[in-house]
Amino acid sequence: MQVPRKSDRLISSIETLEPLVLMSAGVTDLEAVHKDGQTFLTWQEDTTLAGEEYHVYRHTEAITEDNIDQAELLTGRWGPLDDDTSFHQLAGNGAPQNFVIEDLGSALSDDTGLFVYTTQDGESGDAFYAVTLVVNGNEQSLSSSGDQLAAAVQESVAETSPILVSSFNGGKSLVFTQFMDYKDWNPTFQGYAYDYSVALPQNYDPSQRYELRVEMHAYTEGHRLIPESEFGWDVIQLFVDDPGLDRGTVHTWWYGFAADHNYDTDGPIPTSGTIENFTEQRVLKAIDEVIANDAITIDTSRINAFGHSMGASAALAMGIRYGDVFASIYASEGMTDYAASAAFQDEFVQLWGSQESNLQVVNNGKYAGPIAQYGVGGSDPTGVWDWMDHGEQIVRLRGLEMSFFNFGHGKADTAIPWETQGQPFMAAVDAADVGYSAEQRGDWDHTWMGFDFLPKTLFSDANGNLNAWYFSGNDSHLAISNATDSGTPTPTQGGTDYYNQTIDWATPTNPFHTSALDTADHYEISVRSTTSIQTADITPRNFQNFRVNPGDVVSWQNVDNSSGAILEQGQVTVDADGLLTLTNVSVTTGTGNRLILSADPSRPTAPPPVVETPSVVDPPPVVEPPPAVEPPPVVEVDPVEPTVDPEPPEANTPQSPTDGTTPSDPVTPAEPPTTGGTTPAVTSPEENSSSSGSIEGETELPVDDVVIEESPNDDPNDVPPTDVTNEFGEAAESGNDDSGNDVSNPISDAVERLEATADTMLTSMENASANLGGAETLAFYSADGGQRTALLKFDTSSLNGDNVHAATLQLQQLAHLYSDSAMEIAVFAVAAPWQEGAGSDNWSVADGGATWQSEGGGQLVTDFDFGNGANGLITTLKLDGSDPADGTAKFDVTAAVNAWLDGRLANHGLALVVTSGEYSEYVFASSEATDANSRPALLVQSLPGPLPSPNPQPTPTPQDGPNGIAAEDAQGFDAFAGATGEILDTTSQGADGEDAIGSDDQGNASNQQFDDLTEVVQEWNGFQSHKRGRAFQMSQESSTNYIFPSANAFHRRSGS
């Protein structure tokens, strides 16, 4: 809203003011602090008023009522500031709800005003500021003091820096807030301050330069917060944020929104003006800020981006538009043509206006130079709906430097439909001659696809492709199309199509032959097939020194590396986009063959393009290229066709991985990166009634390829031959004693099914305080960094004291990740009361304020004899990587149920603990599963008479203490320590033994450097976690939620 300035004020008499204004305190305590190109203004707001607003002025001399009209009104364009400027509406994980304006400082109070101004070019020097009060649209006069600076603040133009607002785990987990340039931003859409988090490796070494892996999250999510880089990855992870409905805004789908439209005063849909890449600007700025941080060392040649769904859409866009920043991208089921997506149109039009208006884009920022011509004022301006068609633009922009693309889509995806998104994109990437590897997966819905289509030999061979990626933007790479082993550019439904997963090239980390040679006039690279001899079209890209112009003629040879024979040779003309493509080239196996390009040294050479790159602390060491290899002599031979295997693999059949091993069927992936029921859970756009475009069922795990059949018995081979069996496949004991009396033990045919009344997952590796009670799945995972434990509670009061003949805990298996990975789960009794939690509490508290002895771990009964010795072990079950015959996992917990019923042990439920298995994951339905039949249950069969206790136990005497149990009967379970855990101090310490973090007298986490995550509380409104195949889902009713990753999240992300 535009407010009249002093010279235009129409107040004719003092009586026109509200009576309250006459007694108001006005603006007081105005202060200014300048830091790294930005001035932070704070003031005491007028607490006698409500709904008041504030204007901010800047001048090169002290501001008074006499010269305020000559001062610059900084808030004039978008209207005065609200009275809640210290409130961080978009606060993400680990960030306080009120702004922090100095590193690890205290959050501002609710009645503190805040405005951050970025010094513009030519403005260095002294600056004065003033803040005026606006009430009911009327701007008040300056007072005598307190609302204007008496002394100047010295300002300078500089690269702005973010504010470090939180630090955890000894500085390995960091949260930053970045304030964008208010003058060049549109703050009416969602403000101008955003958060992101950074995770460092467990054994971070500042003398080493690390890959930076940037995660763009999926729909309904926010940036993640983890204690350190996950899964032992030797990388630095950057989690950027695109806030959505849970924080009172809509996702920008990682691009931007209207540059000129006032969303406060002119309605929700822009109808004129331009659409600016605001979100891309701040994501790229976050990367620069991480690189510029003296405490973080990045190899700037290895910056990679990845995501699923909405995040994959962003990764594709970044790879197309900013290939000078990102070496590669990885995209699982991304949007490629936004205009063709019916489900999200209501949100898209709020960002970009209608398709009919097709407002033009403007791309600004440090890295937008190569694409600036396609925006307003450029030579080839583009409408936003055209710009957001990645298939169209990847062909149009094919002459730009682009990232290497790894992408995939499920053919059964209806959330981001394959028919309009994944399928047509294949022909586009082929036409663009970009480097890529891809998979179009049959019978796969909208679930994170894992890193299955990452070319292992070119990226990483450690930890199943999950460790640091070798792929470097400082090296050339090959764009391959129409390869013999690859699928068609126009895939059809049915089966899985693979692309470019069996052809690689020699690099320093893939040394099957000499690495590439790249000079001004000469280029060589060795390429091979990992299956059989193939043919393909090959376009070398990202030359470092070899320079050609459109129209240049380049001579080329294809030489067999084992024999030296020339397989093909010829000349090729560089096309209008500066690319040269060798068609129908033979690619051999073993040491492969070497492609040799020679340009005429007398040709006029184009200078290399000027590209701004992120600043670095110290450049990585320059690796000298290998010495030039003399091309072999031309051998005069009769022309022959290259030998090709007579029956190459079908294009749509699974291929061998690039390491030459035998392929397996696609592994059901698990999220980072995001999911239970027994039926596919993604609702098609036609079924989606939400005007916001959210996807119903986003939090359920699709199990299309897990066939779950109800079976009354176990394997028939395990059942004794008898005519009398029960639900458990057991035979009744029958016969007569010596006197002929019937001594049959009449096992009841009736089985009572007790559904779990509560369940949750405890985790030591993501966050000891995470409350995962609302998840629709129980996802068991184990790795070097820790594991997850499940707690389940059952109400056995309906058994009425009858002794139990058999009690089986039954879990419905939804998926297992890694088909050849086994896991053993042990069952213990829980020793203390606990609550499932609705999201408003955390797992440092067990129940009623009592704390766990080991936060996030719980207490287990560890000295009770359930028939396995006095160790508390009830039973174990080995999961061998295969699907159970009837889709369930069964645990014999008869001894525990009998102990509950006869009073020898209090019923606080069962704990399922992973005791062996590394990088394994098994996903089961939880008590929140949509399908009631799939929820955890006790199947109980009772006998009519009492059964003697096989191991009589004295009843423990409860002792005073926070958990109400005998100390000698309970141990604090620390998931790092194994099944039995260890006795831990019961004081309020973090799981890692460090002192608990500080809090103020209201219980709010202090903004100091913390060593664990147990007290980090982030308020959310109506948040529902995005669909992930993980043990994590927040209820919509919850007011406090934690967004921490599942282990191996990158095999579980699903949703949009």
**Residues 130/68, Cβ–Cβ less than 8 Å:** yes
What count of other Cβ atoms lies within 10 Å of the Cβ of residue 9?
A: 13
Chain Cα centroid distance, residue 559: 44
**pLDDT score of 870:** 80
Whether residue 671 is contained in a domain is answered as no
Left if phi > 0, otherwise alpha if psi is -120 to 50, otherwise beta: which for 561?
alpha
- In the chain, the number of structural domains is 4
Judge if 130 and 201 occupy the same domain.
no
Judge if 468 and 591 occupy the same domain.
no
Residue 733 banded pLDDT, cuts 50, 70, 90: very low
Give the residue from 105, 137, 155 where a domain finishes. 155
Mean predicted confidence (pLDDT) in 814-825:
73
Measured between alpha carbons, how far is 816 from 779 in angstroms, rounded to an integer?
Answer: 9
- Name the least confident of 419-433, 574-588, 727-741, 874-888: 727-741
Whether residue 732 is contained in a domain is answered as no
Model pTM score: 0.63
Burial label for 909, CB within 10 Å (0-12, 13-18, 19+), is buried
- How do 328-332 and 758-763 pair as beta strands? unpaired
Judge if 349 and 316 occupy the same domain.
yes
Give the residue from 560, 586, 607 where a domain finishes. 607
Whether residue 1002 is contained in a domain is answered as no
Measured between alpha carbons, how far is 489 from 327 in angstroms, rounded to an integer?
Answer: 24
> Which residues have C-beta within 8 Å of that of residue 266, sequence separation ≥ 6?
none
**Residues 450/1051, Cβ–Cβ less than 8 Å:** yes
- Half-sphere exposure for 468 (CA within 13 Å, toward CB): 18
**pLDDT score of 918:** 66
Residue 52 banded pLDDT, cuts 50, 70, 90: very high
**pLDDT score of 835:** 78
List pLDDT tens digits, range 504-517.
Answer: 999 998 999 999 99
Neighbouring-strand partners of residue 38: 35, 118
**Residues 504/528, Cβ–Cβ less than 8 Å:** yes
Left if phi > 0, otherwise alpha if psi is -120 to 50, otherwise beta: which for 387?
alpha
Judge if 398 and 487 occupy the same domain.
no
**pLDDT score of 247:** 93
Judge if 443 and 553 occupy the same domain.
no
Dihedral over Cα of 53, 59, 61, 64: its sign: negative
> Which residues have C-beta within 8 Å of that of residue 685, sequence separation ≥ 6?
341, 342, 343, 414, 415, 417
Closest CA to 247 of 195, 198, 288, 201: 195
List pLDDT tens digits, range 213-244.
Answer: 999 999 999 999 999 999 889 999 999 999 99
**Secondary-structure breakdown of the chain: helix, strand, coil percentages, each rounded to the nearest 5:** 15, 25, 60
- Half-sphere exposure for 864 (CA within 13 Å, toward CB): 30
Measured between alpha carbons, how far is 1030 from 251 in angstroms, rounded to an integer?
Answer: 23
CATH of the domain at 119: 2.60.40.10
Whether residue 739 is contained in a domain is answered as no
**Residues 853/992, Cβ–Cβ less than 8 Å:** no
**Residues 838/1024, Cβ–Cβ less than 8 Å:** no
Of residues 115 and 21, the one with the higher pLDDT is 115
Judge if 246 and 389 occupy the same domain.
yes
The token pair that represents 725 in the structure block: 């069996």
Measured between alpha carbons, how far is 85 from 117 in angstroms, rounded to an integer?
Answer: 13
Mean predicted confidence (pLDDT) in 1017-1040:
31
- Name the least confident of 411-415, 872-876, 931-935, 1007-1011: 1007-1011
H or E element that contains 555:
strand 553-560
Whether residue 704 is contained in a domain is answered as no
Neighbouring-strand partners of residue 556: 570, 597
- Half-sphere exposure for 950 (CA within 13 Å, toward CB): 13
For residue 678, the 8-state DSSP code is S
Backbone phi, psi, residue 968, to 5°: -75, -10
Mean predicted confidence (pLDDT) in 696-718:
30
What count of other Cβ atoms lies within 10 Å of the Cβ of residue 339?
A: 16
Measured between alpha carbons, how far is 261 from 255 in angstroms, rounded to an integer?
Answer: 16
Residue 864 banded pLDDT, cuts 50, 70, 90: confident
What count of other Cβ atoms lies within 10 Å of the Cβ of residue 420?
A: 16
> Which residues have C-beta within 8 Å of that of residue 38, sequence separation ≥ 6?
116, 117, 118, 119, 160, 179
**Residues 217/197, Cβ–Cβ less than 8 Å:** no
Model confidence at 263: pLDDT above 50: yes
Judge if 295 and 422 occupy the same domain.
yes
Q: To the nearest 10°, report the CA torsion of 1005, 1006, 1010, 1012.
A: -10
Chain Cα centroid distance, residue 366: 25
For residue 69, the 8-state DSSP code is G
Measured between alpha carbons, how far is 112 from 66 in angstroms, rounded to an integer?
Answer: 27
- The CA-atom distances, in angstroms, between 977 and each of 671, 722, 913, 974 are 25, 45, 11, 5
Neighbouring-strand partners of residue 135: 138
For residue 988, the 8-state DSSP code is S
**pLDDT score of 914:** 86
Judge if 378 and 464 occupy the same domain.
yes
Give the residue from 558, 586, 607 where a domain finishes. 607
Judge if 71 and 206 occupy the same domain.
no
Measured between alpha carbons, how far is 722 from 747 in angstroms, rounded to an integer?
Answer: 13
Burial 764-790 (b: 16+ CB within 10 A, else e): bbbbbbbbbbbbbbbbbbbbebbbbbb
Judge if 988 and 921 occupy the same domain.
yes
Helices and strands counted in the chain (H then E)? 10, 47
Residue 814 banded pLDDT, cuts 50, 70, 90: confident
Helix 310-321 vs helix 278-292: crossing angle, to nearest 10: 80
Measured between alpha carbons, how far is 910 from 877 in angstroms, rounded to an integer?
Answer: 14
Whether residue 283 is contained in a domain is answered as yes
Judge if 84 and 220 occupy the same domain.
no
- Name the least confident of 119-128, 440-449, 705-714: 705-714
Q: How far apart are the first and last CA of the chain?
A: 36
Whether residue 1006 is contained in a domain is answered as no
- How do 534-541 and 477-481 pair as beta strands? antiparallel
Measured between alpha carbons, how far is 495 from 483 in angstroms, rounded to an integer?
Answer: 18
Backbone phi, psi, residue 791, to 5°: -110, 135
For residue 171, the 8-state DSSP code is G
Measured between alpha carbons, how far is 1028 from 1031 in angstroms, rounded to an integer?
Answer: 8
What count of other Cβ atoms lies within 10 Å of the Cβ of residue 116?
A: 21
> Which residues have C-beta within 8 Å of that of residue 362, sequence separation ≥ 6?
259, 274, 275, 276, 277, 375, 376, 377
Closest CA to 223 of 174, 290, 292: 174
Of residues 882 and 923, the one with the higher pLDDT is 923
List pLDDT tens digits, range 341-357.
Answer: 999 999 999 999 999 99
Judge if 445 and 491 occupy the same domain.
no
**Residues 562/615, Cβ–Cβ less than 8 Å:** no
- The CA-atom distances, in angstroms, between 628 and each of 508, 519, 539, 1003 are 15, 9, 21, 67
What count of other Cβ atoms lies within 10 Å of the Cβ of residue 183?
A: 13
Q: Which domain holds residue 105?
A: 6-155
For residue 1034, the 8-state DSSP code is -
Measured between alpha carbons, how far is 441 from 459 in angstroms, rounded to an integer?
Answer: 21
Mean predicted confidence (pLDDT) in 547-558:
96
Q: To the nearest 10°, report the CA torsion of 1029, 1030, 1035, 1040.
A: -140
The token pair that represents 407 in the structure block: 């992408």
**Residues 776/810, Cβ–Cβ less than 8 Å:** no
- How do 163-168 and 534-541 pair as beta strands? unpaired
What count of other Cβ atoms lies within 10 Å of the Cβ of residue 750?
A: 10
Backbone phi, psi, residue 129, to 5°: -130, 155
Measured between alpha carbons, how far is 964 from 432 in angstroms, rounded to an integer?
Answer: 68
Residue 931 banded pLDDT, cuts 50, 70, 90: confident
List pLDDT tens digits, range 672-697.
Answer: 333 333 223 333 333 333 333 333 22
Whether residue 1050 is contained in a domain is answered as no
Reduce the DSSP state of residue 458 to 3 states and report it.
Answer: helix
Strands lying side by side in the sheet with 328-332:
163-168, 173-179, 193-199, 235-239, 210-216, 298-308, 328-332, 404-410, 436-441, 497-499
